[in-house]
C-alpha cells in the first residue's frame, strides 16, 4: 500500500506520475497503464499542452476519478485577476472533470502582485473547482509570503529535488508552514541510473538506482515525488518502491551526493533567486 502524505488538509499519494514533456499520444498510451498498475496521483500543467489527453486517459483507465489525485498548474500569463478563473475553467474542461485535487502557481516569475495570485487561487478553491492549492518553484521567501497572503493553507511547493541538489532549507521551511514538498526531476536528467553510489545501495536491496532515489524521496518526512516514463516496463519498476526501506546510513550517503552546481532547471525570467544550500 503506498503511503499518503497529509499536509495542510491535503492527502497526497506519495508517488505521482508526471507528464512534463509528454506529448498527447504518449499520455493516452501510458497514463491509463500507470493508473491500472496502481498509480493514484497524476500531475500535469496548462503549459504542458496535454491536459485534454490526461483527462481522456483518466476516463479510459477504468479507475474512478474520485480515486485519483489530479494536479494541474496555472501558467504565469494567467495570474492576473482578469484571466485566472477562466484559465482554470478551461483546464477543467480539458481535464473532463469538475474539480482538480491540487492547483499550483507554476513559476514565481511574473509582474502580477503575489496577493492577486493568491486571491485567484483562493477564489477557485472557494468555488469548489479546486480541493487544495499550492505553489511551484518558489524559494523560501516566496513560500512565506504566499502562505501569509493565502486565506486557505498551502499544501505543497513543487520543486526540483534529487540527490545532487540540497533542498534542506526549502524542506525545513515547508515543514514550518505545514506544507509538503513535491519533488520533480528525481532522475536528475539521466544522472541517477549511472551513479555508482546509488547502484551500490540498490544492489543491497535488489533494486535499481532509480528505485533507490524514489524511495529516498518518499522516505523523507513530508516529501511527495513524481516519476515519469514513457516505457510501460519502466512503469512497474517506478511503482515497485514500497517493499524496502533505506537505512539511516544509506539515506545519509544519498544526501551526501548533493553539490553546489546540482540544479538543472533554472529558466531565466521565471525562476526566483534560489535559496543557497546550508
pLDDT tens digits along 203-219: 999 999 999 999 999 99
Mean pLDDT of 163-191: 97
Residue 184 annotated to the active site = no
* DSSP line for the chain: ---EEEETTEEEESEEEE-TT--HHHHHHHHHHHHHHT--EEE--GGGT-HHHHHHHHHHH-S-GGG-EEEEEE-GGG-STTTHHHHHHHHHHHHTSS-EEEEEE--S--SS-HHHHHHHHHHHHHTTSEEEEEEES--HHHHHHHHHH-SSPEEEEEEE-STTS--HHHHHHHHHHT-EEEEE-TTGGGTGGG-HHHHHHHHHHT--HHHHHHHHHHTSTTEEEEE--S-HHHHHHHH--SS----HHHHHHHHTT--TT------TTTS--PPPP-
Mean pLDDT of 143-163: 98
pLDDT digits (tens, 9 = 90+) for 217-263: 999 999 999 999 999 999 999 999 999 999 999 999 999 999 999 99
Residue 2 above 90 pLDDT?
Answer: no
pTM for this entry = 0.97
Supply the pLDDT for residue 251.
Answer: 98
Mean pLDDT taken over the chain: 97
List, in order of start, the domains of the chain with CATH numbers.
4-188+222-242 (3.20.20.100)
Binning pLDDT at 50, 70 and 90, where does residue 277 land?
confident
Binning pLDDT at 50, 70 and 90, where does residue 68 land?
very high
pLDDT over 90 for what percent of the chain?
A: 97
pLDDT digits (tens, 9 = 90+) for 8-45: 999 999 999 999 999 999 999 999 999 999 999 999 99
Binning pLDDT at 50, 70 and 90, where does residue 116 land?
very high
Catalytic pick from 48, 79, 184, 185? 48
Residue 1 above 80 pLDDT?
Answer: no
Binning pLDDT at 50, 70 and 90, where does residue 171 land?
very high
Supply the pLDDT for residue 278.
Answer: 59
Amino acid at each position: 500500500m503506498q503511503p499518503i502524505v497529509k499536509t495542510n488538509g491535503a492527502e497526497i499519494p506519495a508517488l505521482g506520475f508526471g507528464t512534463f514533456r509528454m506529448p498527447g499520444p504518449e499520455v493516452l498510451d501510458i497514463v491509463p497503464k500507470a493508473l491500472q498498475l496502481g498509480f493514484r496521483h497524476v500531475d500535469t500543467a496548462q503549459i504542458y499542452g496535454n491536459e485534454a489527453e490526461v483527462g481522456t486517459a483518466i476516463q479510459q483507465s477504468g479507475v474512478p476519478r474520485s480515486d485519483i489525485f489530479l494536479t494541474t498548474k496555472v501558467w504565469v500569463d494567467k495570474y492576473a485577476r482578469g484571466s485566472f478563473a477562466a484559465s482554470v475553467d478551461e483546464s477543467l474542461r480539458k481535464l473532463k472533470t469538475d474539480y482538480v485535487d491540487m492547483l499550483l502557481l507554476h513559476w514565481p516569475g511574473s509582474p502580477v502582485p503575489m496577493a492577486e495570485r493568491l486571491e485567484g487561487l483562493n477564489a477557485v478553491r472557494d468555488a469548489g473547482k479546486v480541493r487544495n492549492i499550492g505553489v511551484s518553484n518558489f524559494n523560501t521567501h516566496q513560500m512565506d509570503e504566499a502562505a501569509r497572503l493565502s486565506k486557505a493553507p498551502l499544501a505543497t511547493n513543487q520543486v526540483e529535488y534529487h540527490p545532487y541538489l540540497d533542498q534542506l532549507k526549502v524542506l525545513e521551511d515547508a515543514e514550518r508552514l505545514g506544507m509538503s514538498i513535491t519533488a520533480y526531476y528525481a532522475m536528475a536528467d539521466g544522472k541517477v541510473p549511472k551513479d555508482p553510489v546509488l547502484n551500490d545501495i540498490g544492489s543491497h536491496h535488489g533494486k535499481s538506482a532509480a528505485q533507490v532515489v524514489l524511495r529516498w524521496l518518499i522516505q523523507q518526512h513530508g516529501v511527495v515525488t513524481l516519476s515519469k516514463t514513457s516505457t510501460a516496463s519502466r512503469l512497474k519498476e517506478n511503482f515497485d518502491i514500497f517493499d524496502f526501506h533505506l537505512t539511516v546510513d544509506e539515506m545519509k550517503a544519498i544526501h551526501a551526493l548533493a553539490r553546489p552546481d546540482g540544479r538543472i532547471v533554472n529558466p531565466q525570467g521565471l525562476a526566483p533567486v534560489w535559496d543557497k544550500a546550508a
